[in-house]
Amino acid sequence: MLHNILERPRATLVRFVAGVLPFFAALATSQAAHAQAIPGNTGAITILAEGLKNPTTVAVRNGIALVPEGQLARLGVLGGLFQARPISLEGAGVLGDKALRVQLPGNDFFPEGIAVDPVTNDVFVGSVFNGIIEKFPNGAARQQFAGRAGTTLTRGALGLRVDNARNLLWACDSSLAVAGGTVTGIDLASRQVVVTHELPAGSLCNDIILDAAGNLFVTETLVGQVFRIDAANALTTDSAQLFLATPEIAPPAAGQLGANGLAIAGGILFVSNTFAGSLVRFDLAAADVAGSVQVVNLSEGGVAGAILSGPDGVLPLSDTQLLVVENGFAGAGNNRLVRVDLDAL
Query: Residue 100: what pLDDT?
Result: 63
CB proximity list for 203: less than 8 A, separation 6 or greater: 174, 180, 181, 220, 222, 223
Query: Is the confidence at residue 7, as pLDDT, over 80?
Result: no
Query: Is the confidence at residue 103, as pLDDT, over 70?
Result: yes
End-to-end Cα spacing for the chain: 44
Mean pLDDT score of the chain: 86
The total number of residues shown for the chain amounts to 345
Name the strand (E) or helix (H) holding 294: strand 294-295
Single pTM value for the model: 0.87
Identify whether 10 is part of a domain.
no
Residue 26 phi/psi, 5-degree rounding, is -65, -40
Give the domain range for residue 267.
45-344
Q: How many domains does the chain have?
A: 1
Query: Is the confidence at residue 10, as pLDDT, over 70?
Result: no
Identify whether 186 is part of a domain.
yes
* 143: CATH: 2.120.10.30
Identify whether 26 is part of a domain.
no
Identify whether 17 is part of a domain.
no
Identify whether 319 is part of a domain.
yes
- Strand locations in 111-265 (E): 111-116, 123-127, 133-136, 143-146, 157-163, 168-174, 181-187, 193-198, 205-210, 216-220, 225-229, 241-244, 259-265
Percent of residues, the chain, with pLDDT higher than 70: 83
- Grouping H, G, I as helix, E, B as strand and the rest as coil, residue 222 is coil
Identify whether 29 is part of a domain.
no
Query: Residue 23: what pLDDT?
Result: 40
Which one, of 172, 146, 215, lies nearest residue 57 by Cα?
172
Identify whether 23 is part of a domain.
no
Identify whether 8 is part of a domain.
no
Question: pLDDT tens digit string along 297-326?
Answer: 999 999 999 999 999 999 999 999 999 999
Query: Residue 252: what pLDDT?
Result: 97
Query: Residue 35: what pLDDT?
Result: 81
Q: Which residue type is seen at 108?
A: D
Question: pLDDT tens digit string along 14-37?
Answer: 333 344 334 434 434 344 445 889
Question: pLDDT tens digit string along 223-272?
Answer: 999 999 999 999 999 999 999 999 999 999 999 999 999 999 999 999 99
Query: Is the confidence at residue 222, as pLDDT, over 60?
Result: yes
Cβ–Cβ under 8 Å, residues 160 and 126: yes
